[in-house]
Amino acid sequence: MPTYSYRCTVCGHAFDIHQSFSESALTVCPECDGLLRKVFSTPAVTFKGAGFYRTDSASSSSK
């Protein structure tokens, strides 16, 4: 289940919550009943090095 970050536009309360893809986004702050917004950040996956392209991992005998 993915983790989503939310921040209230009224009081600034920020929190993370585990939600399935089928669940609706939260809209009400649990602290002050203000409007919540999703906080977007960069993904945690980073691809570095060789082997991520078809030509990197193919051997010369399989061509």
- What CATH number is associated with residue 37? 2.20.28
pTM for this model (two decimals): 0.64
57 found inside a domain: no
What is the pLDDT, as a whole number, of residue 48? Answer: 72
8 found inside a domain: yes
What's the total number of domains in the chain?
1
39's CB contacts (< 8 A; 6+ apart) are 5, 6, 7, 14
55 found inside a domain: no
51 found inside a domain: no
Per-block mean pLDDT, blocks of 10 residues, the chain (63 long): 92 94 93 94 74 60 53
Neighbours of 13 (CB within 10 A): 15
Domain that includes residue 9, residue range: 1-43
63 found inside a domain: no
What is the pLDDT, as a whole number, of residue 37? Answer: 95
